[in-house]
Structure 1
Amino acid sequence: MAALAYNLGKREINHYFSVRSAKVLALVAVLLLAACHLASRRYRA
């Protein structure tokens, strides 16, 4: 039953996201986190 739910969920995610869009989202997240980290180090009170 769990395997069936996993396969259905996997198909559902693949319907909305491609590998390319997932890579782009991951890159944007990393860049945003790096910018926040640098800003917090630069403007430390």
Structure 2
Amino acid sequence: GSIDFKRILAQKELSGMEYYFVEQDMTFDGLKPLDAIQISHNALKEIGFE
């Protein structure tokens, strides 16, 4: 399923969130695992996760 990361991000201060983890079950389009996680990381940065 999909996770509404923008909604989670909107509540991060209220919840006291300090850290987050990205799980990459499998890569896509034949990417190397670290390249795939970099794409995920960049997408989260674009919506405010740092």
TM over 0.5, shorter chain = no
Q: Which has the higher helix share?
A: 1
Q: Which has the higher contact order (CA 8 A, sep 6+)?
A: 2
TM-score bracket relative to the smaller structure:
0.3 to 0.5
